[in-house]
Amino acid sequence: MPPRDRAAPDIVVEKLRKEYRVAKREPGFAAAFRALFRRRYETVVAVDDISFEIAAGERVGFLGPNGAGKTTTLKMLAGLLHPTSGTCTVSGFTPREREVRFLESVTLVLGQKQQLLWDLPPVDTFELNRAIYQVPQKDFEARVSELTTLLDLGDLVKKPTRELSLGERMKCELVASLIHAPRVLFLDEPTIGLDVTMQATVREFVRTYNERHAATLVLTSHYMDDVLALCPRILVIDKGALSYDGSVEELVQKVRPDKRITARFATNVERVDLERFGTIVTHEPTRAVVSVPQDELASRAQAMLASLPIRDFEVVSAPLEEVLAELFARTRAARSSAPAGTGEPAP
């Protein structure tokens, strides 16, 4: 595999679009019978002319609600789907052409699908992938040893897959996907269904692999802890269109610049006693969260400390889930007000 030019983008997407032609019919037997002879179709846009670039070795979160087009985009970047229009390149290759050198350079991990053979131990799947990618035996043994050590798998790889827990299977899936030492990782919900301890283990493994091998990472996840821990940059997609490209901090500052004061009280505090300090997000007798303007944070925090029986005190930004929900609401409102056929907000 030729070395990458670290100064050039590793992933380039320009006006990428994916449409599906979907059959429609009314419910009921009569409608089903009519559809045998005359079908009605509609065009569904899954990905709507998105463009972005990702540098070699960068870790990027790809976020959006269900049905936003995230997995469709990853499948086009991995060469599993052909775009309707637009272009994309990954490490200098065109994914849809599925060149052998391209396939050797990428991996796609889908958290809701598995490649492990159910009745065989994961080590057999590792060996199968070694043969598929023609990995030299010495390299294969070194990689399996490194990956299983990082994930603390031990002899679990020799047990039948059906006897492993969900978290153990996910860790083995990661090993199987990295046997050929890919330099571009597309991870689609890799921690879905895992407990918090296992999520943290998978996150640390992905971070370590990225740092050791300078692998480019594109991650989709509905667990914001995954994104905050791994991705300095995020791309946000909604209804197939790109809504945001930048850091989490910049997005929070742009959408929800207010700060949240979480206070715990030594004695009960009534809601009415908190209203003068800001907008009350949640209230319990001995705990409350109050939203205050960022430029008034210091003065309001001092006032709370001086007048309330505060036992513990914390200042944080708005949760990323709320920030994203606000971003989606704004972008959808902007699209609905755009002049017909422009795709741009109305002036």
Sign of the dihedral defined by the CA atoms of residues 111, 240, 107, 148, in that order: negative
310 and 199, same domain (yes or no): no
- 89 & 229 share domain: yes
Query: What's this model's pTM, rounded to 2 decimal places?
Result: 0.84
Q: Which residue has the higher pLDDT, 8 or 85?
A: 85
Verify that 245 and 266 share a domain, yes or no: no
Indicate the pairing of strand 259-265 with strand 310-317. antiparallel
Q: What is the mean predicted confidence (pLDDT) over 204-212?
A: 92
Residues 142 and 286 in one domain: no
d(CA 71, CA 62): 9
Whether 99 is covered by a domain: the verdict is: yes
pLDDT at residue number 210 = 94
pLDDT at 123: 94
Q: Is 209 domain-assigned?
A: yes
Checking if the pLDDT of 136 tops 90, the result is yes
pLDDT class for 7, splitting at 50, 70, 90? Answer: low
Q: How far is CA 242 from CA 69, 78, 221, 324, in A?
A: 10, 19, 16, 13
Domain CATH for 312: 3.30.70
Number of domains observed in the structure of the chain: 2
**Domain region containing 261:** 257-317
- Domain end: 211, 228, 251, which one? 251
* One domain, residues 158 and 296: no
133 found inside a domain: yes
Asked if 154 and 288 sit in the same domain, the reply is: no
Query: Is residue 42, in this structure, part of any structural domain at all?
Result: no
- What pLDDT is recorded for position 347? 32
Crossing angle (nearest 10°) for helices 166-177 and 196-213: 10
Residues 190, 286, single domain; the answer is no
> What tens digit of pLDDT does each residue of 11-42 get?
999 999 999 988 888 888 887 878 788 888 88
Clarify whether residues 171 and 271 are in a common domain.
no
What is the average pLDDT score of the chain?
A: 90
Q: Is residue 63 part of a domain?
A: yes
pLDDT digits (tens, 9 = 90+) for 211-248: 999 999 999 998 899 999 999 999 999 999 999 999 99
Looking at the domain assignment, is residue 174 inside a domain? yes
- Among 214, 234, 251, residue at a domain's last position: 251
176 in the same domain as 141: yes
Instruction: Characterize 104-118 residue by residue with b for buried, 16 or more Cβ atoms within 10 angstroms of its Cβ, and e for exposed.
Output: bbbbbbbbeebebee
Instruction: Kindly state whether residue 2 falls inside one of the protein's structural domains.
Output: no
Report the CATH number at residue 175.
3.40.50.300
Mean pLDDT over 269-278 rounds to: 93
Q: What is the pLDDT of residues 293-347, one digit of tens each?
A: 999 999 999 999 999 999 998 999 989 999 999 999 988 888 777 665 544 443 3
Q: Are residues 170 and 270 in the same domain?
A: no
Other residues' Cβ atoms within 10 Å of the Cβ of residue 5 = 11
Together in a domain, 164 and 205: yes
Say whether both 187 and 293 belong to one domain.
no
